């Protein structure tokens, strides 16, 4: 069964996107205006005679190859992959290109319009709305602001699981401050 570029083009027509078909490469090139990415190019690539699907954003982050915070940037990319569904990152060490990608086999099935739309919208939302602002912060500071979000999620979880516990902890910390410094200070 698989899928072909004409089917993908019909899916893009349904949502009113402009695109360019590159039949010889078995792909479609399109894009969207992002909030954090100026030129948010998107490539829909079919491989293995339409039995393997990938949608990716090439060159989403530049200047990483020789960046002083390269390790923190690459680590943050891996953390984002861990925290999200579907989204993966690729890094080409030869030229420093970074891609955001969603890919999976179609094999003996087909790619439905709903599946395609989910992949496309996830790529756009996760890259432009979540990853790029976070990665730009890492490029500037060398620190992943997502670690703060992990702490906030932990606090929210505590609040949901044990209502009132956070208030109790806050009061205990205030009482401790009034008595003096914490032992580690």
Mean pLDDT of 43-71: 95
pLDDT digits (tens, 9 = 90+) for 116-168: 999 999 999 999 999 999 999 999 999 998 866 556 666 766 777 778 877 88
Q: Tell me the C-alpha distance between 24 and 182, whole Å.
A: 67
Strand order in the sheet with 52-57: 19-22, 27-32, 40-47, 52-57, 98-105, 88-91
Neighbours of 122 (CB within 10 A): 16
Q: In angstroms, what CA-CA distances link 16 with 10, 12, 119, 123, 128?
A: 10, 6, 16, 17, 20
Contacts of 35 (CB under 8 A, 6+ apart): 128, 129
SS (H, E, C) 110-169: CCCHHHHHHHHHHHHHHHHHHHHHHHHHHHHHCCCCHHHHHHHHHHHHHHHHCCCHHHHH
pLDDT digits (tens, 9 = 90+) for 84-113: 889 999 999 999 999 999 999 999 899 999
Q: What is the pTM of this model?
A: 0.77
How does DSSP classify residue 75?
Answer: H
pLDDT value at residue 166: 75
Q: Is the CB of residue 119 less than 8 Å from the CB of residue 102?
A: yes
């Amino acid at each position: 069964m698989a899928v072909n570029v004409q089917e993908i083009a019909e899916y893009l027509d349904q949502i009113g996107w402009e695109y360019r078909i590159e039949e010889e490469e078995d792909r479609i090139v399109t894009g969207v205006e992002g909030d954090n990415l100026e030129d948010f190019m998107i490539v829909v690539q079919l491989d293995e005679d339409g039995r393997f699907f990938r949608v990716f954003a090439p060159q989403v982050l530049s200047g990483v190859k020789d960046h002083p915070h390269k390790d923190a940037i690459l680590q943050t990319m891996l953390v984002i992959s861990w925290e999200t569904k579907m989204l993966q990152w690729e890094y080409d060490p030869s030229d420093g290109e970074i891609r955001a990608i969603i890919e999976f086999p179609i094999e003996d099935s087909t790619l439905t319009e709903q599946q395609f739309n989910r992949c496309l919208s996830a790529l756009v939302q996760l890259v432009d709305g979540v990853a790029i602002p976070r990665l730009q912060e890492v490029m500037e500071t060398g620190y992943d602001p997502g670690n703060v979000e992990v702490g906030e999620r932990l606090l929210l979880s505590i609040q949901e699981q044990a209502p009132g516990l956070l208030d109790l902890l806050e009061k205990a910390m205030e009482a401790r401050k009034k008595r003096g410094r914490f032992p580690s200070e």
